Structure 1
Amino acid sequence: MHIHLTIDGNSVDATLNDSSTVRDFAALLPLALDLDDFQKTERIADLPRKLSIEGAPASSEPKAGDLAFYAPWGNLALFYRDGHPSPGLVILGHLTDPDDIARLADANRVRIQPAS
């Protein structure tokens, strides 16, 4: 599945994995979210509700450009730097263009919608 993100007015595309968590996330789209920095590694935002993690791995190691769901907090994470293995982190997908990763570091707002 492909999605389109608008990050502080810039158009960015991403490809999502095929999982129950991603299907649950897609059901929330479109979304407009305010972003906060977390540990100078990722931008995070609260989702309207927690997502299903049925069948998801117990832990994931995020890479720069990954979109992820952190189940313990119920938030979306957009990684602009590689992260550490984290229990409860479910990778949803990845930005299509590596050049877009740099935009995440200072992002304040994101709009996410299915790609047309």
Structure 2
Amino acid sequence: MRIFLKYTLFVSMLVWGSLQTASGQGTEPSTGSETSPSTASQGTKILITTGSNHLVAMMDDNPTARDFVSMLPLTVTLRDFSPAEKVSDGLSKRLSKYGAPASGMGMTGDIAYYSPWGNLAFYRGQGPDAAGVIKIAKIISGIEILNQSGTVRATITLSEKSDE
């Protein structure tokens, strides 16, 4: 009798798990960042302000980008890292890496989350293929601001204008 009950319980758990997976529930692992909005971020524009200069970027639609949008508005310090990129200081929380590729190569105009350091990379040229690079946005105007050498303070907000 005990063996029958254990077997029944085991089969019930298997059936329940497969029903959860089939319905799409329980398939995304917890990232410790449960505040990520469920709405798509693709098509969402962000405004990056440095002094009187502005960059506009279009967000990608992935869990990392959505998690980043949930943190806005945000002010970061950008510094030169290489001829190809400026990087931010660390973000106040780690972003979701769910579904992200193991590595990526930043292209001119990309904004990426670098998961090993928990910061952002703004590409003014092509970067190397590196583990943990997750693209979250593409700069659509104002990229020349990234060519300014040295550190710069940047405030990132959701763009209020859809035609910027």
Structure 2 length as normaliser, TM-score? 0.66
Q: CA deviation at 1:9?
A: 2.2
Unaligned runs of 5+ in 1: none
More helix by share: 2
1:68 aligns with 2:112: yes
Superimposed CA distance per residue, residues 36-69 of structure 1 (whole angstroms, 9 cap, x where no aligned partner): 1102221111211111110111111111111000
CA shift at 1:84, angstroms?
Answer: 1.2
For 2:86 and 2:51, the matched residues in 1 are separated by 13
The verdict on how the C-alpha distance between 1:65 and 1:8 changes in structure 2, with shifts beyond 3 A counting, is farther
- Greater CA drift, 10-19 or 39-48: 39-48
1:81 CA drift (Å)? 1.1
Larger relative contact order, structure 1 or 2 (CA cutoff 8 Å, min sep 6)? 1
Which one has the bigger strand percentage? 1
Residue type of the partner of 1:102?
E
Matched, 1:35 2:78: yes
**Partner of residue 104 from structure 1, selected from 146, 151, 156:** 146
Identity of aligned residues (%): 35
d(CA) in 2 for partners of 1:9 and 1:74? Answer: 27
State the SS of the aligned residue for 1:35: strand
Q: How many residues align?
A: 114
**Where does residue 93 of structure 2 map in the other structure?**
49
For the 8 Å contact 1:63–1:83, the answer to whether it is kept is: yes
1:75-111 deviation digits (Å, cap 9, x = unpaired): 11111111111110000111112xx222112261111
Displacement of 1:8 after TM fit? 3.3
Partner of residue 23, structure 1: 66
Higher Cα Rg, which structure: 2
Q: Distance in 2 between matches of 1:101 and 1:2?
A: 15
Query: Which SS does the other structure have where 1:96 is aligned?
Result: strand
SS across alignment from 1:82 = coil
Displaced runs of 4 or more, over 6 A: none
Secondary structure at 2:66 match in 1: helix
Give the alignment's Cα RMSD to 1 decimal.
1.2
